[in-house]
């Protein structure tokens, strides 16, 4: 089947892309499986201009919150109508196994729109309070920040897009979205659903392209706020641009999180949990616990369990519902992941599962790979690999485990595995990271998500994430004398 997406979505219309179209390549077999449009800088200019025109209008920003929330719910209903098609649209581009794509690409954007419609209804937009000095009153208003540029990566593209598009729209902002060049189909499906739902022209626009188009968008004079998700390297560049322009920005970046396996952990449950907490989406997720910290007292047991997990996972066609590990997103990315496997082999770490096969198979597959006896200073323990490669690192006691977990440039996720949940919570409190799971890990739409250190700036999701799409304004009223 050929997936041919030929147009951008700008100002409520399908627009012919300034730079034509480019072939899409299936990660499962390396063959062409469709086309995607390529935007020019003038397409981006047109999208930003449309978003600017739509911002502040009575038909969007000026709508009573109830009516805007209803439009978001209509958007959700449209998304509900093609869950399998949208999940497939992502899987055929980035190789996410369909069993994962159905709930994440298909289902999650719907929940995100509904959650933010509800949050908008509950949020007080304006309150009137007495002055601190008793000399009058102040009206405190939340005002939407304006035109939001949303730049997202190729892993979990539809939910990640909605992490910021849903709250931005709920707040009354307008959006220009730039998906990663690897996953354009799903973004255009989101635009089509918004169009069918009747969102006014210019409220949501989608332009495509790589880093240059992304930079043109985030530095555009018509943009008021930037929401960037991607690698730490690109995030630093976007952060520099926004710093120079004094433009509010959230940066959701890379990670190298730790799973701390405590000495009382049930290893069967831990291994089952690590299948998703360490290897979800073939290791291509930002918050994964890819450093497995194992107590010396049970080190061999943990190594065997993790190696056994890696060997048991079913590798195959992403569209096969029984596949657990799909291909990497691109041949370039597979080469990058494999270069880390070779680096691990040279570092003196012990390869206990996986490795680079002598002959490459069709498609961009990497076998789940586990290294034991890894030192936390080794590059495979320090750098984000973004593939199915795990490092098992021994520790002496809990203090050392926490020290190793925190000895990282990153601080995004992490997990604690234990039979004693209270002890798990106590250890979780000591991990320097934006989120930690005890005996599991799953994002909560109602709670803030984001990173510390090189994992990013700011938070998405929950009321805290929603708040970042508003400016506060205070109107002072002096007491009549
Ligand atoms: P990437 O940084 O290469 O690209 C991300 C997006 O930014 C793409 O749309 C890309 O075209 C664009 N881009 C790249 N350089 C840019 C620049 N200089 N200016 C503006 N836009 C630019 O990342 P990727 O390979 O697509 O995604 C994988 C990375 O994303 C990993 O590091 C992963 O950890 C991270 N990620 C983080 C989160 C999170 O929530 N913290 C979630 C998912 C992925």
C-alpha pair distances (Å), 107 with each of 86, 100, 156, 161, 370: 9, 10, 12, 13, 31
Q: Where are the alpha helices (DSSP H) in 206-364?
A: 211-218, 232-245, 267-277, 280-283, 299-312, 331-347
**pLDDT at position 190 over 80:** yes
Q: What is the dihedral of CA 452, 454, 455, 458, to 10 degrees?
A: 50
Q: Percent of the chain having pLDDT more than 70?
A: 100
Dihedral, CA atoms, 215, 207, 319, 365, nearest 10 degrees?
-20
Q: What is the DSSP string of 15-45?
A: E--TT-EEEEE-TTTS-EEEEEE---HHHHH
pTM of the entire predicted model: 0.98
For residue 481, pLDDT beyond 70: no
* CB 102 near ligand 1, within 6 Å: no
Q: How many angstroms separate the CA atoms of 70 and 462, rounded?
A: 19
> Is the CB of residue 228 less than 8 Å from the CB of residue 249?
yes
pLDDT digits (tens, 9 = 90+) for 206-264: 999 999 999 999 999 999 999 999 999 999 999 999 999 999 999 999 999 999 999 99
Q: Give 269 Cα–ligand 1 centroid separation in angstroms.
A: 32
Assign 238 to helix, strand or coil.
Answer: helix
Instruction: Kindly report, residue by residue over 343-372, the tens digit of the pLDDT.
Output: 999 999 999 999 998 887 799 999 999 999
Sequence-separated (6 or more) residues with CB below 8 Å from residue 133: none
Q: Is 236 helix (H, G, I), strand (E, B) or coil?
A: helix
| Centroid of ligand 1 to alpha carbon of 185 (angstroms) | 17
Q: Bigger pLDDT: 163 or 480?
A: 163
pLDDT at 361: 79
Q: Report pLDDT for 54.
A: 98
116 within ligand 1 shell (Cβ under 6 A): no
CB contact at 8 A, 129 and 205: no
CA of 178 to the centre of ligand 1 (A): 11
Average pLDDT (157-172) is 98
Q: Answer yes or no: is the C-beta of 142 below 6 A from any ligand 1 atom.
A: no
Helix (H, G, I), strand (E, B) or coil at 393: strand
What is d(CA 100, CA 318) in angstroms, rounded to the nearest whole number?
Answer: 9
CA dist., res. 330 & res. 124, Å (int): 45
* Contact 155 CB / ligand 1 (< 6 Å): yes
Enumerate domains of the chain plus CATH numbers: 3-253+454-475 (3.40.605.10), 257-444 (3.40.309.10)
Q: Is the pLDDT of residue 479 over 90?
A: no
How does residue 480 score in pLDDT terms, banded at 50, 70 and 90? Answer: confident
Distance from C-alpha of 237 to C-alpha of 223, rounded to nearest angstrom: 17
Instruction: Tell me the pLDDT of the chain averaged across its residues.
Output: 98
What number is the average pLDDT over the span 323-340?
Answer: 98
The percentage of the chain sitting over the pLDDT mark of 90, rounded to a whole number, equals 98
How far does residue 360's CA lie from ligand 1's centre (Å)? 27
When pLDDT is cut at 50, 70 and 90, the band that residue 273 belongs to is very high
pLDDT in tens, 137-161: 999 999 999 999 999 999 999 999 9
Q: Which atom of ligand 1 is nearest to the CA of 238?
A: 19
Active-site amino acid positions: 252
pLDDT value for 359? 83
């Amino acid at each position: 089947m050929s997936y041919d997406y030929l147009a951008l979505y700008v100002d409520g219309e399908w627009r012919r892309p300034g730079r034509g179209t480019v072939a899409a390549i299936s990660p499962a077999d390396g063959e062409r499986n469709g086309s995607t449009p390529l935007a020019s800088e003038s397409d981006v200019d047109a999208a930003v201009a449309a978003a600017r025109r739509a911002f502040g209008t009575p038909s969007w920003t000026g709508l009573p919150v109830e009516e805007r929330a209803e439009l978001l719910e209509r958007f959700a209903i449209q998304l509900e109508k093609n869950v399998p098609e949208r999940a497939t649209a992502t899987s055929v581009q980035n190789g996410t196994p369909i069993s994962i794509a159905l709930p994440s690409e298909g289902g999650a954007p719907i929940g995100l729109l509904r959650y933010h419609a509800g949050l908008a209804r509950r949020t007080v937009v304006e309150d009137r309070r007495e002055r601190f000095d008793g000399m009058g009153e102040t009206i405190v208003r939340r005002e939407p920040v304006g035109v939001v540029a949303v730049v997202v990566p190729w892993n979990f593209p539809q939910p990640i897009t909605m992490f910021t598009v849903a709250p931005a729209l709920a707040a009354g902002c307008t959006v220009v979205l730039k998906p990663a060049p690897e996953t354009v189909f799903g973004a255009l499906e989101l635009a089509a659903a918004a169009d069918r739902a009747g969102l006014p022209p210019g409220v949501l626009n989608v332009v495509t392209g790589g880093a240059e188009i992304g930079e043109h968008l985030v530095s555009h004079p018509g943009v008021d706020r930037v929401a960037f998700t991607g690698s730490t390297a690109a995030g630093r560049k976007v952060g520099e641009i926004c710093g120079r322009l004094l433009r509010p920005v959230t940066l959701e970046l890379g990670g190298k999180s730790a799973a701390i396996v405590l000495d009382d952990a049930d290893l069967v449950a831990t291994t089952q949990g690590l299948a998703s907490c360490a290897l979800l989406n073939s290791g291509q997720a930002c918050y994964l616990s890819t450093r497995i910290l194992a107590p010396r007292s049970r080190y061999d047991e943990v190594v065997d369990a993790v190696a056994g997990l890696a060997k048991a996972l079913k590798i195959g066609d992403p569209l096969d519902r029984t596949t657990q590990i799909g291909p990497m997103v691109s041949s370039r990315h597979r080469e990058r992941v494999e270069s880390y496997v070779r680096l691990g082999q040279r570092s003196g770490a012990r390869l206990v599962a996986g490795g680079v096969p002598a002959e490459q198979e069709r498609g961009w597959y990497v076998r789940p790979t586990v290294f034991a006896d890894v030192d936390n200073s080794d590059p495979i323990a320090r750098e984000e690999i973004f593939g199915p490669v795990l490092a098992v690192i021994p520790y002496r006691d809990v203090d050392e485990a926490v020290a190793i977990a925190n000895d990282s440039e990153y601080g995004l996720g992490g997990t604690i595995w234990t039979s004693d949940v209270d002890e798990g919570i106590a250890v979780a409190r000591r991990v320097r990271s934006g989120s930690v799971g005890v005996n599991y890990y799953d994002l909560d739409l109602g709670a803030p998500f984001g990173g510390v250190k090189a994992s990013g700036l700011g938070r998405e999701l929950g009321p805290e994430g929603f708040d970042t799409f508003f400016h506060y304004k205070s109107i002072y009223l002096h007491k009549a004398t």
